[in-house]
Amino acid sequence: MELNDQAAITSGSDFWASTAAGDVPAITLTDGPHGVRLRVPDSEDLLAGQPATCFPPAVASGSTWDPDLLRRMGEALAEECRAMGVQVLLGPGINLKRTPLGGRNFEYFSEDPLVAGVLGAAWVRGLQSGGVGASLKHFAVNSQETDRMRVSADVDERSLRELYLRAFQRVVTTAQPWTVMCSYNRVNGVYASQNRWLLTEVLRDEWGFEGLVVSDWGAVVDRVEAVRAGLDLTMPGPDPTGDRALVEAVGDGRLPADALARSADRVRSLVAKTTAVGRTDGYDADRHHALAREIAARGIVLLKNEGDLLPLDPGGTIAVVGELARTPRYQGGGSSQMTPTRLDDALTAIAESAPGRVRFTADPAEAVELAQGSDAAVVFAGTEQETEGSDRESLDLPADQRKLIAAVAAANPRTVVVLANGGVVLTTPWDRDVGALLEGWLLGQAGGSAVADVLFGRVNPSGRLTETIPLRLEDHPSYLDFPGEAGHVRYGEGIHVGYRGFDARRQEVAYPFGFGLSYTTFSYGEATATATETGVDIRLRVTNTGPRDGREVVQAYVSLPSSRVRRAPRELKAFAGVEIRAGETAEVVLHADRSDLAYWDVVLQRWVVEDGTYTIEVGASSRDIRATTAVEVAGDEARHPLSADSTLAEWLADPRGAELLMEVFTRMPTEGGGMAAGMTLDPATLQMAMGFPLSRMAMFPGSPFTADALAGLVVAANK
């Protein structure tokens, strides 16, 4: 391909299409991830989309903890893409919910990288099985909307590797998305679009990514530096200035010719792969709506159900309060905003479930009287803050809604609250006064029917929280370091993101990570754990002890009390959703992968599994542990090399280093008050000396650590 054509196909031809050149046709890339938002032709509104199924956003689909459902969702999205002439769907979004104020949290799965990675990989496999390319986004550390185009996410290396990159690593290595989308922000000072360490050294060289890196729309600052770093396709287009800059940079030697050629080849490869499967005539919209309803019902989380208020009796009178029951909020704002094929509302679905028994108001003045005269009241409440481009200012429900909930609950203790929100809201103290609480998130176009399915027990709720609901915003681990200032945001909580931070500080929460109730109950038997070459196998029996068939999400948390590095008190390492009929028992087998037991060693610059006795806690949430066991795991060879700048304590902690130092100290005279005398006769002096690098000890009287002696010790210690 000619140099000019190579440059041309590495940028778009318009807002949603790549560039055709030579024998390479253009392809269409469009927004996801919870639906196909294909722009209406000739519309001046860039966000106006053609009708397509609006599936539940990730805030709800993630709460299913069900990779099979996410795979099926991906398959359905592929069918719609092919019917609409779309070759790449821009999703899934798997950034961590570092702060509950994140305006785009509704598009992300979890505060935990295992949940985000497992569900994201399933979505990718489903989509790509239908011949449509996924675009894993936003790579990387895109955890806020405030100053998102420029802000530098300043993250220490362990936190970056173990949390913010780990979900991406899982999806890349297990599902091979055809594209990865780089984010707008800077990562430790370097724009993601021109961060060679991120796009080439980590993504390709370490993880083995085989696909194409596309920019987020408008994320490229310097086209030449972006290609040099490993970015392949700049969107949107056209970008004639950038095309010329690439040609000139290759011509004058500033950019290696093979760098541009590689990017062009990756575009050609993506085009060939995504055009191998042709366009179809249509898709079954009713079947997809039914799938959206199934996912929505499974994503609803039952947070409270005093006195078994739910499920509702369809024979009783029901007061339905709140405009959100009639006019649902089912998705967030921004580039993923959909035009649904149809839209269910909860009021209609409830009325159809209890014919002639439902009365509705949206008028707060009438709500109390209506509630007093009904067997049960259902209040619909929610937020309108979650959108791309800005972060939330508060976690509170609007004041008028809190006042309404309090008034209705005072009038009728059999009050149910149904929430519609894209990120967690504070539930304290008003949740104490209501009988039942459903976290309904944003449920997509079939959410109204899904809410009725759960309210009346046609679906036994099994959704689980993928993020912690705090008692106060100030309690959150990210609170003091968000949203940053002067172009930087410091990730000061380190590895203690979300529930890890709450647990490390023994902080009380409103509802913990992994929590969710059911209309039945489950008991857990004893757990056993066995170490294998690939990780740890965990087995236990779970019994449905209640009156209804149900689904339990069994969660395994792992810790290493003897770890040489700081760790969270417990970390999710495996989970499984198990369908169990009433009165029956299921044998549950969980597998914690060996790679997930590792920490990132900043000295050795690699993953390390430590030797030791690992504690395995199995339960129904991070705070509801039902069975505990332990297992011995053989670690990796991970000896840190010793140097002249290693401290006395580090030398003595190393077997070979300690042996060599003992030989040195035994040869030193203890008379005359020299170093040897002080260290052997005075424990306080020895303790103080533990923090000294050996090179600094050379300055002390009587020190044996001359430059030549130290050099010899270092060589001998590291043989």
Q: Could you report the per-residue pLDDT of 572-606, keeping only the tens digit for each?
A: 999 999 999 999 999 999 999 999 999 999 999 99
Residue 422 has pLDDT above 70, yes or no: yes
The reply to whether 308 and 411 lie within a common domain is yes
Q: What is the pLDDT of residue 48?
A: 81
Judge residue 608's burial from the number of C-beta atoms within 10 Å of its C-beta, 0-12 exposed, 13-18 middle, 19 or more buried.
Answer: middle
Q: Which of 31, 147, 154, 216 is catalytic?
A: 216
The reply to whether 456 and 366 lie within a common domain is yes
The reply to whether 629 and 660 lie within a common domain is no
For residue 471, being part of any structural domain is answered with yes
Range of the domain at 496: 286-511
The reply to whether 464 and 544 lie within a common domain is no
Q: What is the DSSP string of 430-490?
A: GGGG-SEEEE-----TTHHHHHHHHHTTSS------SS-EES-GGGSTTGGGSS-BTTEEE
Residue 672 has pLDDT above 70, yes or no: no
For residue 148, being part of any structural domain is answered with no
The reply to whether 547 and 499 lie within a common domain is no
Residue 221 has pLDDT above 90, yes or no: yes
Q: Kindly provide the b/e burial profile for residues 291-312, where b requires at least 16 CB atoms within 10 angstroms of the residue's own CB.
A: bbbbbbbbbbbbbbbeeebbbb
Q: Whole-angstrom Cα distance, residue 405 to residue 401?
A: 6
% of residues, the chain, pLDDT over 90: 91
Q: What is the pLDDT of residues 441-473, one digit of tens each?
A: 999 999 999 999 999 999 999 999 999 999 999
The reply to whether 379 and 500 lie within a common domain is yes
Q: What is the CATH number of the domain that holds 468?
A: 3.40.50.1700
The confidence band for 679, taking pLDDT boundaries of 50, 70 and 90, is low
For residue 150, being part of any structural domain is answered with no
Q: Decide: 405 and 419 in contact? Cβ < 8 Å.
A: no
Lowest mean pLDDT among 22-36, 41-55, 377-391: 41-55
Lowest mean pLDDT among 60-69, 344-353, 437-446, 666-675: 666-675
Lowest mean pLDDT among 192-206, 380-394, 651-665: 651-665
Backbone φ/ψ region at 640: left (φ over 0), alpha (ψ -120 to 50), beta: beta
Q: What is the pLDDT of residues 608-645, one digit of tens each?
A: 999 999 999 999 999 999 999 999 999 999 999 999 99
Judge residue 104's burial from the number of C-beta atoms within 10 Å of its C-beta, 0-12 exposed, 13-18 middle, 19 or more buried.
Answer: buried
Average pLDDT, the chain: 95
For residue 195, being part of any structural domain is answered with no
The confidence band for 674, taking pLDDT boundaries of 50, 70 and 90, is low
Q: Whole-angstrom Cα distance, residue 25 to residue 271?
A: 7
Among 511, 540, 569, the domain-final residue is: 511
Residue 132 has pLDDT above 80, yes or no: yes
Q: What is the pLDDT of residue 697?
A: 82
Pairing of strands 528-532, 535-544: antiparallel
Sheet holding 29-31, edge to edge: 29-31, 88-90, 133-139, 179-182, 212-215
Q: What is the pLDDT of residue 669?
A: 62
For residue 140, being part of any structural domain is answered with no
Beta bridge partners of 51: 339
For residue 212, being part of any structural domain is answered with no
Closest CA to 465 of 62, 55, 135: 62
The reply to whether 493 and 462 lie within a common domain is yes
The reply to whether 612 and 530 lie within a common domain is yes
Q: What is the pLDDT of residues 227-239, one digit of tens each?
A: 999 999 999 999 9
Q: What is the pLDDT of residue 611?
A: 96
Q: What is the pLDDT of residues 211-220, one digit of tens each?
A: 999 999 999 9
The reply to whether 479 and 533 lie within a common domain is no
Q: Whole-angstrom Cα distance, residue 502 to residue 499?
A: 5
The reply to whether 626 and 659 lie within a common domain is no
The reply to whether 608 and 484 lie within a common domain is no
Among 456, 491, 511, the domain-final residue is: 511
Q: What is the pLDDT of residue 682?
A: 62
The confidence band for 552, taking pLDDT boundaries of 50, 70 and 90, is very high
Q: What is the pLDDT of residues 171-189, one digit of tens each?
A: 999 999 999 999 999 999 9
The confidence band for 676, taking pLDDT boundaries of 50, 70 and 90, is low
Structural domain total, the chain: 3
User: Alpha helix locations (H) across 275-345?
Assistant: 285-299
The confidence band for 680, taking pLDDT boundaries of 50, 70 and 90, is low
% of residues, the chain, pLDDT over 70: 98
For residue 450, being part of any structural domain is answered with yes
Among 603, 633, 663, the domain-final residue is: 633
Backbone φ/ψ region at 289: left (φ over 0), alpha (ψ -120 to 50), beta: alpha
Looking at residue 537, the DSSP 8-state letter turns out to be E
- The two three-digit tokens of residue 246, written as one number: 């690439």
Q: What is the pLDDT of residue 573?
A: 98
The confidence band for 671, taking pLDDT boundaries of 50, 70 and 90, is low
Q: Whole-angstrom Cα distance, residue 172 to residue 207?
A: 7
For residue 227, being part of any structural domain is answered with no
Q: Which secondary structure element, helix H or strand E, spans residue 407, and what is its range? A: helix 399-411
Q: Whole-angstrom Cα distance, residue 156 to residue 188?
A: 9
- Catalytic residue flag (residue 654): no
The reply to whether 420 and 557 lie within a common domain is no
Lowest mean pLDDT among 30-39, 255-264, 484-493, 675-684: 675-684
Q: What is the pLDDT of residue 41?
A: 87
Q: What is the pLDDT of residues 692-704, one digit of tens each?
A: 898 988 777 778 8
Q: What is the mean pLDDT of residues 348-360?
A: 98
Preceding omega of 138 cis (within 30 degrees of 0) = yes
- The two three-digit tokens of residue 563, written as one number: 């770890």
